Structure 1
Amino acid sequence: MKRTSTLLACAAAGLLLLSACGGGSDPLAPGGGGQAPAAADTIRIASADFPENRLLAEIYAQSLEKAGVTVERDFGIGAREVYFPGLKDGSWDLVPDYTGVLLQYINPDATETEADAVYDALKAQAPAPLTVLERSAAENKDAVVVTAATAQQHGRSLADYGPVCGQLVFGGPPEFQTRPDGLPGIAETYGCTFKEFRALDTGGPVTVAALADGTVQAADLFTTDPAIEDNGFVVLDDPQNNFAAQNVVPLINSTKATPQVTDALNAVSAKLTTEGLIQLNRQLNAPDKPEVDTVAKGWLTANGL
């Protein structure tokens, strides 16, 4: 108990320091980068503010540079509510995104949940000047995660939790309170309204520590997070598909999607797998804390890219 409480305090302090140093963004702040667009022959790549997305952005960047494309990096922008408007106004040109949550951001009334249906709807509904390229097989879904003890007491499916959610504190990123598949979706689909919401980080060490030491009893984590297995956490089943398919996909300004760019990014998507993402995240979490660019280069080399 003392060890995880210390981890929570240290992780929280780290997040505050990162924010103070300008390394983070308010995930609910008004969106739009407010920057002049990159040069016509340059791809300015953004990322969300969690490690996997930064890594995917770096993989995109290195694959494009290998193809002879000039790249600018602007990683750790914040949540979709921040970077999506910036893609539309030209502040950024490309970001790695996830099909299901991206579709629901564009169309909160979207009902598609299966991978192909979600992707087809996304291609049709992405607003100009944005488009998506080929989706990968790699999928990283949001999930409601509990400890093994909680799962033993209350069940291993969200369908079991309607009567007991009022006893549980939920933790997750601030935007999870309002996203269609966040707390509103869980309440509508499963009749589950939690006792309290604690705003934590985006599937990171603060959330993991809070769940481990009982500060929260349920949390939003990503299914590719090795911390789930390492801590013996349980991903609750989602039989009503509150969380749609979430395949990794390049979201790009269509004016920058030249054949040279498209071919390089589609080649990356063809190689990405869910198990591969889990292993990449495990590498990022290794005790020696390798740099994102080193992990990205290793993956590209191993996959002949």
Structure 2
Amino acid sequence: MYAGAAFGLIAALALTACGGGDDSDSNPLTGSSTGSAGDGKSIVVGSANFPENQLLAEIYAQALESKGLKVTRKFDIGAREVYYDQVVKGGIGVFPEYNGALLAVAVDPKSTATSTEDINAELKKKLPSSVEILDSSEAEDKDSVTVTSETAAKYNLKTLADLKPVAGELAIGAGSEFKTRTQGLVGLKSVYGVEFKKFQPLDAGAQSTLLKLLQNGTVQAANLYTTDPAIVEDKLVVLEDPKNLFSSQNVTPLVYKSAVNDTAKTALNGVSAKLTTEDLLDMMKKLVDDKEDAADVAKEWLTSAGLGS
């Protein structure tokens, strides 16, 4: 949700930092004018305000550039509630999305689809006519409710269902939008009967703060993304989701139709054909733990996948 879409240890800017809907806004990262995504001069590639999505956007941008296409980067825009309309209206031409979260949050909050195939079928039917999804990748980054190994042992927690009798004693931390999303507190209550004692909201993407709060006991559960390197490194426990509250979250290009030609579509589908969850985990470790530059990590992966220029 999502899902999404990472990331792990970098505080994000506020949603409004560069999330305006004016297509002629200057890109705060590049200083260039974004123009219109469909003006035939430059494909605007956007990203949400967390490092994994920015990395994916950089991969898309470099893949397009390797085909001789001109690209303008408009990264760190904000949460889906901010950037989605910009794509639909043409202010952004290409965006790395997470298919399940796109459907559940922006397109049809009442959808019950959980598999990749069902989600994509619904998206193709229900997306506004100005946009479309391209091929989904195998790579997936799902929302989760995660606890420390000590909390899991103390309350005998293995699945989300195990939270029901004890959640009234616990606090959960997440991005502020988690409070009102079906794939969030709303769904935890309706699907699992789970109601936490306290909700600690954070700016979307502020996972570094969220991890600190989890580790120091300020919150006992956290909405972490499953490709966060800290889950493995800190031996955190991702609670199983037997009722599929959190749907499939395959990395999938969302495009403004008139902004992309067949060459662009081929480049983006080529990324999807190669990208795996293991690749994401490896790249996020380099980005977060090893402090490598996102552009370098993206270039290295594209070269290893045979997609570089």
Fold agreement, TM-score > 0.5: yes
Amino acid at match of 2:21: G
Amino acid at match of 1:25: L
2:95 is paired with a residue whose SS is strand
| Counterpart-to-counterpart distance in 2, 1:162 and 1:172 | 18
1:170 aligned onto 2:172: yes
Superposition deviation, residue 168 in structure 1: 0.6
| Counterpart-to-counterpart distance in 2, 1:33 and 1:244 | 32
Amino acid at match of 2:227: T
Higher relative contact order (CA 8 A, sep 6+): 2
Structure 1 residues 185 and 277, CA, compared in 2 at 3 Å: closer, same or farther?
Answer: same
Moved more, 31-40 or 272-281: 31-40
Match of 1:120 in 2: 121
Long gaps (5+) in structure 2: 1-8, 25-34
Superposition deviation, residue 275 in structure 1: 0.8
Match of 2:72 in 1: 72
1:251 aligned onto 2:254: yes
Superposition deviation, residue 126 in structure 1: 1.2
Q: TM (normalized to structure 2)?
A: 0.88
Higher helix share: 1
| Counterpart-to-counterpart distance in 2, 1:30 and 1:272 | 28
| Counterpart-to-counterpart distance in 2, 1:215 and 1:291 | 31
| Counterpart-to-counterpart distance in 2, 1:34 and 1:164 | 47
The 8 Å contact of residues 33 and 92 in structure 1, kept in 2 or not, is answered as no
Match of 1:283 in 2: 286
Match of 1:32 in 2: 21
| Counterpart-to-counterpart distance in 1, 2:239 and 2:285 | 22
CA RMSD of aligned residues (A): 1.8
Superposition deviation, residue 33 in structure 1: 4.0
The 8 Å contact of residues 43 and 260 in structure 2, kept in 1 or not, is answered as no
Long gaps (5+) in structure 1: 1-10
Structure 1 residues 110 and 293, CA, compared in 2 at 3 Å: closer, same or farther?
Answer: same
Superposition deviation, residue 229 in structure 1: 0.7
Superposition deviation, residue 176 in structure 1: 0.8
Match of 1:4 in 2: none
Percent identity over paired residues: 44
Within 5 A, what are the aligned runs for 1:254-269? 254-269=257-272
The 8 Å contact of residues 33 and 85 in structure 1, kept in 2 or not, is answered as no
| Counterpart-to-counterpart distance in 1, 2:131 and 2:187 | 26
Superposition deviation, residue 31 in structure 1: 6.6
Structure 1 residues 139 and 278, CA, compared in 2 at 3 Å: closer, same or farther?
Answer: same
Within 5 A, what are the aligned runs for 1:231-246? 231-246=234-249
The 8 Å contact of residues 284 and 292 in structure 1, kept in 2 or not, is answered as yes
Match of 1:223 in 2: 226
Q: Work out which of the residue numbers 287, 292, 300 in structure 2 matches 1:298.
A: 300
1:250 is paired with a residue whose SS is strand
Question: Runs of 4 or more off by more than 6 Å in structure 1?
Answer: none
Structure 1 residues 150 and 49, CA, compared in 2 at 3 Å: closer, same or farther?
Answer: same
Match of 2:104 in 1: 104
Please give the per-residue CA displacement for 1:94-140, whole angstroms capped at 9, x wherever unaligned: 11000101001210010000121111111221112010000000010
Match of 2:5 in 1: none
1:53 is paired with a residue whose SS is helix
